[in-house]
């Protein structure tokens, strides 16, 4: 009976994936914190009234083809050792997002880069209605231009191989259009683009990206929220069918907090590759932007 169940589950996932035809809605979940403490959880900020900000725009085709998949693993920097080495042994297309200012930030960036992983800066930003600090140094929602420039350039000096950035927590900061304009201006000057971790429905990232003339992308799925059970993984795989026909890649974020998350990532990769889906690097996903 157990063997039969194992055979049936992948078949159900395949049928659900390729039968689904609806376009995606934003996944309303939040970022998690660092890997040596209980992961922080930022309650997603719902939109109470129609936003004056533009939402992310996607292009669609009439085909049933699945888009490529970009996978980002957040929160590297708190630990080194075997767990980091094992994460680095994942396929080289997987992107490492490194938190600056941590004991092993440079080690994680160097090991990830040596194993062929693209590196991005996981920039700590202020959360809305949260008693959890994003770190000792972070970009607040009303940060001045000079403060933002100093922080980002220092973070970049710590992680000089970075090709982009995304936000750690940050629902308050990413909802502030003036602040996001300042952040994206500095990133652009350093040759970096930005991936919105989408911790708020009121994000100003897309609008600021247009105003600054810089590429921005948006997280579609948090793989390890609310947990990394097989049931949750199956649900996430089923949800991929929503993106059929979209030209832009599906962007998936997970975290490096423990070995359970590594095992879940390995299972996820094995499953989707067995279904014929393609994991790509940021360079392959955005060839006109990433050199």
Give the count of beta carbons closer than 10 Å to the beta carbon of residue 61.
11
Q: Are 121 and 101 in contact (CB under 8 A)?
A: no
Give just the sign of the alpha carbon dihedral 121, 122, 125, 128: positive
Per-residue pLDDT tens listing for the chain (291 residues): 544 445 455 545 554 554 444 444 444 333 333 344 444 546 555 554 445 577 899 999 999 999 999 999 999 999 999 999 999 999 999 999 999 999 999 999 999 999 999 999 999 999 998 788 899 999 999 999 999 999 999 999 999 999 999 999 999 999 999 999 999 999 999 999 999 999 999 999 999 999 999 999 999 999 999 999 999 999 999 999 999 999 999 999 999 999 999 999 999 999 999 999 999 999 999 998 876
Q: How many other C-beta atoms are found inside a 10 Å radius of the C-beta of residue 110?
A: 15
Q: Which CATH superfamily is domain 2-37+61-285 in?
A: Glycoside hydrolase/deacetylase (3.20.20.370)
β-pairing, 193-196 vs 216-218, is parallel
Q: What is d(CA 56, CA 219) in angstroms, rounded to the nearest whole number? A: 11
Distance of CA 259 to the CA centre of its chain: 19
DSSP-based three-state secondary structure for 146: helix
d(CA 202, CA 128): 11
Please tell me the distance from the alpha carbon of residue 131 to that of residue 209, in angstroms, as a whole number: 29
C-alpha to C-alpha distance for 155 and 76, rounded to whole angstroms: 14
Pairing of strands 119-125, 164-169: parallel
For the chain, first and last CA: distance in Å? 51
Kindly list the domain boundaries of the chain, sorted by start residue.
2-37+61-285
pTM of the model: 0.87
């Amino acid at each position: 009976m157990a063997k039969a169940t194992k055979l049936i589950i992948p078949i159900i996932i395949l049928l659900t994936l390729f039968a689904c035809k609806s376009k995606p809605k934003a996944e309303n979940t939040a970022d998690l914190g660092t890997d040596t403490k209980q992961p922080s959880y930022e309650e997603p900020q719902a939109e109470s009234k129609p936003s004056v900000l533009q939402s992310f725009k996607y292009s669609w085709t009439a085909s049933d083809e699945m888009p490529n998949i970009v996978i980002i693993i957040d929160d590297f920097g708190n630990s080194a050792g075997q767990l980091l080495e094992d994460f680095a042994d994942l396929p080289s297309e997987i992107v490492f997002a490194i938190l600056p200012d941590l004991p092993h930030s440079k080690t994680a960036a160097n090991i990830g880069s040596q194993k062929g992983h693209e590196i991005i800066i996981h920039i700590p930003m202020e959360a809305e209605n949260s008693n959890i600090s994003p770190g000792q140094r972070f970009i607040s929602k009303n940060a001045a231009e000079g403060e933002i420039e100093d922080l980002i350039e220092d973070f970049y000096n710590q992680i000089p191989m970075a090709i982009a950035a995304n936000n750690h927590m940050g629902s308050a900061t990413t909802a502030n259009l003036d602040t996001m304009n300042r952040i994206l201006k500095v990133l652009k000057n350093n040759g970096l683009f930005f991936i919105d971790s989408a911790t708020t429905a009121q994000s100003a990232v897309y609008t600021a990206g247009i105003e600054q003339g810089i590429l921005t992308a948006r997280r579609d799925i948090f793989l390890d929220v609310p947990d990394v059970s097989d049931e949750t993984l199956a649900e996430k795989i089923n949800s991929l069918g929503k993106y059929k026909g979209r030209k832009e890649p599906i962007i998936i974020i997970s975290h490096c907090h423990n070995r359970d998350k590594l095992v879940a990532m390995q299972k996820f990769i094995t499953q989707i590759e067995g279904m014929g889906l393609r994991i790509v690097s940021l360079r392959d996903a955005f060839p006109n932007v990433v050199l």
